[in-house]
Amino acid sequence: MQSFIDIQKRLLPDLLQVLQKRYSILRYIGFMQPVGRRSLAASLGFTERILRSEVDFLKDQNLIYTNNVGMSLTPEGKNLLEDLEGLMRELKGIDVMELELKHRLGIKKAIIVPGNSDVSPMVKSELGKACAMGMKELLAGKNIIAVTGGSTMATVAEELSPELGKKELLFVPARGGIGEDVQNQANTVSSIMSKNTHSKHRVFYVPDQVSSEIYESLIKEPDIHEVLELIQSASMVLHGIGDAITMAKRRKTPSEEMKKIEDGNAVGEAFGYYFNESGEIVHKVLTIGLQLDDLARIPNVIAVAGGSSKAKAIKSYMKQAPSSTILITDEGAARRLLKG
């Protein structure tokens, strides 16, 4: 027997379109509040005329209110938005997509948030919230959490809360990062995570990439050796997945190595490894910290990456990822991944 939603899709498709539109408006107001009409229209890609009629309807239903600084959700609007989350996932087939993605990538679990983070910064925050919820389900007893850098991990850090700190947490950078944008360095990200969860962290001040001579010298330093031991004994890893060329440029990769990355048709990067579309490693940066082989013995590995533009990078890395991986991504990347 067809579900009520399936019947509704066939007989009242316009109703579902209106529902999705009003759900999007409520989500954006909840994320940006207080927000002005012009700013909201630009974020949603609506004309102000279309948005005005929708806003008037939502106000009449006591779901939003306006004042001189903009629009915000009422308590009733907030409750309705929470109730709509599960329904919208079913309407978009996200639960089915999660199972298909899990099996196709050969990983432990796939979690998909609605939207496309290439288009909306709100979706990137939703990835962070989903990561926080995923962590909460996995944490138990004492936890050493190794964290990489990057803009996505920086967003995850902002979404963590003191509630997670009820567990005993120690955040450590997964690898060196001196030379990167300070805001997105693993040291900075792990520091913000510890601050927001009221827990502890360790710093790891070593370069992101080194020569073999410097590598051998640094790993003998007592402080560095101590942090390396913590990283090796991590119970959880949080990491992003980068676009290969973007990451190589960010690292100011020498022209000789850049040519190797380009000639190898690299599309994805993680932990200093560059992968082509077949998942083959075409280049590896010598980094101090967590290596790809180390992931197999870490119980919980959470990869966070979204945006349809990241689909190739995600797919290439997942061919090397341990089967224990939990992927947190968005609808934009997931739909692109399932097409291929």
Asked whether the beta carbons of 324 and 106 are under 8 A apart, the reply is no
Q: What is the pLDDT of residues 119-131, one digit of tens each?
A: 888 889 899 999 9
Range of the domain at 117: 93-339
Of 63, 75, 30, 79, give the one whose Cα is nearest residue 40: 30
We report the CATH number of the domain holding residue 317 as 3.40.50.1360
Angle at 63 between CA 36 and CA 56, to 5 degrees: 60
Look at phi and psi of residue 336 and say left if phi exceeds 0, alpha if psi is from -120 to 50, else beta.
alpha
Q: How confident is the model at residue 1 (pLDDT cuts 50, 70, 90)?
A: very low
The pLDDT of residue 18 is 86
Q: DSSP secondary structure string, 65-107?
A: EEETTEEEE-HHHHHHHHHHHHHHHHHHTHHHHHHHHHHHHT-
- Strand arrangement, sheet containing 325-330: 109-113, 325-330, 300-304, 236-240, 142-147, 168-173, 200-201
Q: What is the pLDDT of residues 57-116, one digit of tens each?
A: 999 999 999 888 899 999 999 999 988 888 888 878 899 999 999 999 999 999 999 889
CA separation for the pair 19, 84 (Å, rounded): 10
Same domain flag for 192 and 134: yes
Beta bridge partners, 86, equal none
Same domain flag for 121 and 229: yes
Percent of the chain whose pLDDT exceeds 70: 90
More confident residue, 26 or 13: 26
Of 155, 117, 151, 127, give the one whose Cα is nearest residue 336: 117
What mean pLDDT is predicted for residues 189-207?
90
Mean pLDDT of the chain: 88
The pLDDT of residue 334 is 97
The pLDDT of residue 46 is 83
| Cβ partners under 8 Å of residue 220, min gap 6 | none
Same domain flag for 44 and 163: no
Same domain flag for 262 and 276: yes
Q: Of all helices (H) and strands (E), which one includes residue 136?
A: helix 121-138
Same domain flag for 324 and 274: yes
Same domain flag for 296 and 154: yes
The pLDDT of residue 128 is 93
Which of 90, 118, 150 is a domain's end point?
Answer: 90
- The total of structural domains in the chain comes to 2
What type of residue sits at position 70?
Answer: G
Same domain flag for 17 and 130: no
Is the pLDDT confidence value at 178 over 60?
Answer: no
Which of 44, 64, 90 is a domain's end point?
Answer: 90
Q: How confident is the model at residue 141 (pLDDT cuts 50, 70, 90)?
A: confident
Same domain flag for 81 and 102: no
The pLDDT of residue 163 is 87
Same domain flag for 316 and 195: yes
pTM of the predicted model as reported, rounded to 2 decimal places? 0.86
CA separation for the pair 184, 156 (Å, rounded): 11
We report the CATH number of the domain holding residue 76 as 1.10.10.10
CA separation for the pair 330, 27 (Å, rounded): 15
Which of 90, 124, 149 is a domain's end point?
Answer: 90
Is the pLDDT confidence value at 53 over 50?
Answer: yes
More confident residue, 2 or 236: 236
Same domain flag for 154 and 296: yes
